[in-house]
Structure 1
Amino acid sequence: MSDVLRAPALGTWVKLSSPTTVEIMAYAGFDFVVVDLEHTLLDLGTTQTMISLARASGMLPLVRVPDHTASTIQRVLDAGAAGVLVPHVDTAEQAGAVARACRFPPHGTRGAGSTGPAGRWGRLSRAEYVRHGNDEVLCIPQLESGRAVREAGRIAAVPGVDAVFLGAADLAMDVGTSDVADLLAAVRAAARDAGAPVGSAAASASAARAALDAGDTFVVCSNDTSMLAAAAVDTVAAVRRASAASS
């Protein structure tokens, strides 16, 4: 299993279509990136380039797929992703189907494609390619509904599920905002009882620190678009203030 699930690790979402973003995040010191195919128009060709660049830059490349579709999961893993975050996994049965899509037989249903990036363009032996897919590829369901909260322990215990990811924003939309903190705490406890690491998203550095202090093993902090927008706003505001002060 990847070290990203064993020790406090910091990542960020990649939403912009330029692979340069990935290189910038590597230089910034992030441990991993999550290329977001759920809430962007990124295509698989660009995603593969980002995956390769992340690996070459020393970062772990994860991909959030748009849905549970096994063919999409397979293509992302064939592109060399270290693992997938899968949105809106609400039951242990759904988690089992997602996990099987990530694994080769007899543990799952993933088809072999060892001549692509995941097989180092055919340089890995079939045995090593299959071993890597079954032992090292990360399957991370996102729990983001009231039903998922109730099923959290069962989902976390599904064979082939390596961790769970807390989807606080969608959970708040599903159940309302008043109980979200308590529900997230319940999911954390259930996952840990099942022996599964927990990850979460944070909008700010302070929120990321709080999540790590709460025991989350990995946190996805902010995203490339928000960081660019914030820096742009701050730069313009600073120049305007300086200009006003000197006039």
Structure 2
Amino acid sequence: MSLRTKGETGDALGTWVKLPDPESVEIMAHAGFDFVVIDLEHTAMDLRAVSTHVAMARSLAVDPLVRVPDHGHSAIQRVLDAGAAGVVVPHVDTVAQAEAAVRSTRFPPWGTRGSGGTSRAGRWGTLPRDEYLDFGNNGALCVVQLESRQGIENTAGILAVDGIDSVFVGAADLSMEMGVPASDAQVQDLITHALEAASDAGRSIGTAAGTSEQGLAALARGFDYVVVSNDTSILANGARQIVNAVYPDQAG
């Protein structure tokens, strides 16, 4: 799977992983998801759990991306050395922030990432150094989230940054910032702007969806990949369906 070039491999389907137990990734892989996004922004997960998730995903041929908690260099470097296929950087609003995100994912002279070839990304020191460096500079994905009016308006400039592989539209935070529902015309016009900018740049663009129906609608609208639901919601909804079926009078 590649999220780099628009239309390169067709639509791709992922889901968020928010629980620390590796069974979450295992279940999602067996369910048939193309990739998972391990979430460090909105969970209490630690790097040890991320490392285990990445190993599980790799073993099952599912691409593991990690949404880092912020723009911090250290978190980006550590999850990449844990073997992540790439990072999703939240709340990128400007070209300067996009450039900084790229620098954190790349080795010198293109970035500031330190060499950690004895990590999983370097196959514990057994991967030739040039292969380790090549993946870091050319293979690891740098995806940035656009979740503000400013970020969306800067889509074209952000996608023009060398090393930005894809943008990810966060409609929930965008609508919250604007003080209107996600269905509001103002929000939808901005999303259309981002889609058109990505199309013009020939780069991929993704978004999140709560349900499969919403995911299908996003793909039909022109998004190249979609992250649908998450392990906790899938578990909670499945549990609720069972309870409601047995106790229909208590359905909530």
Per the normalisation by structure 1, the TM-score is 0.95
Alignment of 1:28-43 (within 5 A): 28-43=31-46
Q: Which residue of 1 aligns with 2:47?
A: 44
| 2:3–2:204 Cα contact (<8 Å) kept | no
1:56 matched to 2:25? The reply is no
8 A contact 1:157–1:196 mirrored in 2: no
4+ residue runs over 3 A deviation: none
Bigger shift: residues 185-194 or 128-137: 185-194
% of aligned pairs identical?
54
Match of 2:223?
A: 216
Determine if contact 2:3/2:165 at 8 Å carries over to the other structure. Answer: no
1:165 deviates by 0.3
Q: CA deviation at 1:147?
A: 0.6
Amino acid paired to 1:105: P
Normalised by the length of structure 2, the TM-score is 0.93
* 1:22 and 2:29 are equivalent in the alignment: no
Alignment-derived partner of residue 106 in structure 2: 103
The one-letter code sitting in structure 2 at the alignment partner of 1:155 is I
Alignment of 1:197-216 (within 5 A): 197-216=204-223
Match of 1:238 in 2: 245
Q: Please, what is the CA RMSD of the aligned residues?
A: 1.4
5+ residue gaps, structure 2, are none
- SS of 1:3's partner is coil
Q: Is the 8 A contact 1:65 1:85 kept in 2?
A: yes
Post-superposition Cα deviations, 1:18-71, rounded to whole Å, max 9, x if no partner, equal 111000000100000000000000000010000000010110000000000011
1:190 and 2:190 are equivalent in the alignment: no
Asked whether the 8 Å contact 2:91–2:148 carries over to 1, the reply is yes
Q: Does 1:125 align with 2:128?
A: yes
AA of the residue aligned to 2:79: V
The superposition leaves residues 195-243 of structure 1 with CA deviations (integer Å, 9 ceiling, x where unpaired) of: 221010000001100111112111100000111110011000111249x
Q: What whole-Å deviation, never above 9, does each CA across 1:98-138 have from its counterpart, x for those lacking one?
A: 01110111111111101010011111111010111111100
Q: How many matched pairs?
A: 242
Return 5+ residue gaps in structure 1 as ranges.
243-247
